[in-house]
Amino acid sequence: MQDLGSEDWQDGDLVVVPLAWRDYGLWSQIQSAAQDQIGIKLRTMYSELLQQPLSPGLLDVAREVEQRLAAS
């Protein structure tokens, strides 16, 4: 889908469209585009989070869990 609205509104702008003016196909495209953008941002956030080192306490817990799994 081509993003025709990006030239009119900046990211983060809220646009209210009365229900009577909504074309269902267009509305579905807007929802789909918004969901895609949310998904991209969440994947970026989660990938950045996974790059962070574990705290010493959490690292100890993770090692303990690994040891218990290896022993069973």
Q: Which amino acid is at 22?
A: R
- The average pLDDT across 35-59 equals 90
* Cα–Cα distance for residue pair 49/1, rounded to 1 Å: 30
Domain ranges of the chain: 5-71
Given its phi and psi angles, is residue 12 left (phi above 0), alpha (psi -120 to 50 degrees) or beta?
Answer: left
> What's the pLDDT at 50?
82
Sequential DSSP letters for 21-71: G--HHHHHHHHHHHHHHHHHHHHHHHHHHHTSPPPHHHHHHHHHHHHHHHH
pTM listed for this prediction:
0.46
Q: In Å, how far from its chain's centre is CA 62?
A: 26
> What's the pLDDT at 9?
66
Sorting pLDDT into bands at 50, 70 and 90, what band is 19? confident
